[in-house]
Amino acid sequence: MSTNLETTNLKTDEMIINMGPQHPATHGVLRLILKLDGEIVRHVEPVIGHLHRAQEWQGQNRTLFQYQALIDRVDYLSGMFTSLAFAHACEQIDGCQIPPRAQYLRALVCEMNRISSHLLWLGTFLIDLGALFGFPFYPFREREKLLDLFEEIAGQRMMFNYIRIGGVQRDPKPSWFEKVRKFTAEFPDRIDEYEAIVTQNPIVLKRTKGVGILDKSVAMDYGVTGPSIRGSGINYDLRKTRPYGIYPELNFEIPLGQNQGDTWDRYMCRILEMRQSNNLINQCLDKMPEGEISGKKQIAGLRIKAGEGFSAIESPRGVLGCYVISNGSDKAYRIRWRNPSFCNLAVLPSLLIGRPISDIMAIFGSIDVILPDVDR
């Protein structure tokens, strides 16, 4: 296969191909400048920034209360996580206490959001592999159910603005918990259906097995995190290694890649993570305590103490960090995002070089990059 292509003596002229920024498979606006030798990629230069919306600059110019509403756009597929990272940083600087019910609600909505993000990844990944508008109907159907649940508590399908500094915004009704239970009860069957269609499909196996092998040392050198590095067999999940929130009280496993860290392993990691998240949702629902939902009053002139702090959480794409420097006023002095997609995308050239051009989208899809998360 491709390895044979590498060793042939056939010489071709070098060709430079521009891929993007408008390309159906780049999940937005990534531009890749590829230098090709026949079919083989010799050099890759990712050009990012086509969606640079100045989120960090906005953080300096908006009050904290206003900025809370904006940060869902940093990573729109996992808005709960971006809100949570920001809220964590501000809470740790401020030292305010978060009520246990708010902690459990946060974990609950975050795990739901992890599932919805992975479902969208599953659909688009299969589109990248060539299952154009056939398979994606299935994961999107479940995603709609999750989005309806989010809409009921947060008010919108994607831009939640639900997790706030000090707690959460709204206490859901008991009927909402029942709906979540209904979803979690049937979701494992749905994952079985996806797996029946995809996991052992010979075409998918040909496209993914042994493709885009991410070496452990390379991954660590580039600071890759999330399912991408867990596919390579490194057990690094912030929920276990640096537990935050109520994760120490919950019981779950970290799925790891079984082979050498190829595209199929990363696919499998995410599938198994969805099952784990489903368990976590059930646990949160069982242990959900009663009580307050916010430890800080949500007013327009929301202030935190002066100080600086870096908080990181495990988002569906990896370590999502937020570095806040506060000077005690209602605006932050500097907000810096550490986005998992930005760091994971940096490893893309080393994965692509030496591969045929048809593998680009399979590899790019498997590291699950969201472009606003790259560009802010």
Partner 1 sequence: MSNLLTRAKDSIYQVLRGLKTVAVHSLRIPTTKEYPDTMPPLPPHFRGRLALNVNPETNEHLCISCRQCERVCPDKCIEITAHKSPETNKLELIDFKIDHGLCMFCGLCTEVCPTDCIINTNDFEMADYSREALVYDIRKLTLTQGESSHYFAAKEIALPKPKPAKPVASAPIAPSIAKPVETKTEAKPVETKTEAKPAETKTETKPAETKTEAKPAETDTDTKSTDNESK
Partner 2 sequence: MSQTDTNKPNETKEMELGKFGKFLKDNGIDSTRKDDSINVETIVISVKDLEPALRLLKTSSETKLNMLLTISGVDYTDRIDSIYHLWSYDHNDALVIKVELPKQSQANTDTVNLTSIANFWSAANWHERETYDLVGIRYLRHPYLRRILNPWDWEGHPLRRDYKQLVDALNDKNPHSFR
Partner 3 sequence: MSELLNNDLNSTDLARENAALISPELADTVTLTSIDKAINMLSQIVSPIANLARSNSVWPLTFGTSCCAIEMMCVGMSAFDISRFGSEVFRATPRQADLIITAGTITRKMASALITLYEQLPEPKYVIAMGACTITGGMFNDSYSVVQGVDRIIPVDVYLPGCPPRPEAILDALLKLQQKIRTENYAKRRVQAYQQRPVCYVDYDCGRPLEDLLAMAMEDTSLALDQK
- By CB under 8 A, name the binding residues for partner 2: 48-49, 52, 54, 56-57, 60-61, 92-93, 218, 220-223, 234, 236, 241-242, 306-312, 319, 321, 323, 325-329, 331, 333-334, 336, 338, 342-343, 346-347, 375-376
Task: Give the residues across from 37 on adjacent strands.
Answer: 14, 40
50 is a site residue for partner 3 (CB under 8 A): yes
Binding test (CB under 8 A) with partner 3, winner from 5, 70, 220, 346 = 70
- Secondary element (H or E) of residue 258: none
- CA quadruple 314, 315, 317, 323: dihedral sign: negative
Binding test (CB under 8 A) with partner 3, winner from 76, 176, 177, 323 = 76
Q: Which does 200 bind (CB under 5 to 8 A by kind): partner 1, partner 3, partner 2, none?
A: partner 1
Distance in angstroms (rounded) separating the CA atoms of residues 193 and 6: 37
Distance in angstroms (rounded) separating the CA atoms of residues 117 and 38: 36
Q: Which does 336 bind (CB under 5 to 8 A by kind): partner 1, partner 3, partner 2, none?
A: partner 2
Q: Which is nearer to partner 3, 70 or 254 (CB)?
A: 70
State the residue for tokens 């996580």: 81
Q: Which does 209 bind (CB under 5 to 8 A by kind): partner 1, partner 3, partner 2, none?
A: none
Q: Which does 201 bind (CB under 5 to 8 A by kind): partner 3, partner 1, partner 2, none?
A: partner 1
A 10 A CB-CB count for 37 gives 17
Q: Minimum Å distance from CB 67 to partner 3?
A: 10
Residue type present at position 160: F
Binding test (CB under 8 A) with partner 1, winner from 62, 143, 207, 376 = 62
Count of alpha carbons within 13 Å of 72, Cβ hemisphere only?
17
Segment contacting partner 3 (CB under 8 A): 18-26, 200-208, 330-338, 340-348?
18-26
* 139-178 binders of partner 3 (CB under 8 A): 140-141, 143-144, 147, 157-159
Question: Collapsing DSSP states into helix, strand and coil, what is residue 4?
Answer: helix
Question: Collapsing DSSP states into helix, strand and coil, what is residue 155?
Answer: coil
Cα dist from 197 to 70, 255, 353, whole Å: 38, 21, 30
Structural contact between residues 344 and 318, judged by C-beta atoms closer than 8 angstroms: yes
End-to-end CA distance of the chain: 38
Structural contact between residues 80 and 110, judged by C-beta atoms closer than 8 angstroms: yes
Question: Collapsing DSSP states into helix, strand and coil, what is residue 348?
Answer: helix
Q: Minimum Å distance from CB 93 to partner 2?
A: 7
∠ CA 122-184-311, nearest 5°, is 70
24 is a site residue for partner 3 (CB under 8 A): yes
Q: Minimum Å distance from CB 236 to partner 1?
A: 32
246's tokens? 């109520």
What is the bridge-based pairing of β-strands 31-37 and 40-47?
antiparallel
276's tokens? 């784990």
Cα dist from 331 to 67, 86, 206, 301, whole Å: 9, 13, 52, 9
Q: Binding marks (x or -) toward partner 3, 85..124, rule CB under 8 A?
A: -----------------------------------x--xx
Number of H helices, E strands in the chain: 16, 8
53 is a site residue for partner 1 (CB under 8 A): no
155 is a site residue for partner 1 (CB under 8 A): yes
Binding test (CB under 8 A) with partner 3, winner from 5, 33, 51, 357 = 51
Task: Give the residues across from 332 on adjacent strands.
Answer: 326
Q: Minimum Å distance from CB 274 to partner 3?
A: 18
202 is a site residue for partner 1 (CB under 8 A): yes
Segment contacting partner 1 (CB under 8 A): 12-20, 41-49, 58-66, 231-239?
58-66
Residues that bind partner 1 (CB under 8 A): 62, 65-67, 69-70, 138, 141, 144, 151-156, 159, 161, 170, 193, 196-198, 200-202, 298-300
Positions touching partner 3 (CB under 8 A) are 21-24, 28-29, 49-54, 57-58, 61, 69-70, 73, 76-77, 120, 123-124, 133, 136-137, 140-141, 143-144, 147, 157-159, 371-372
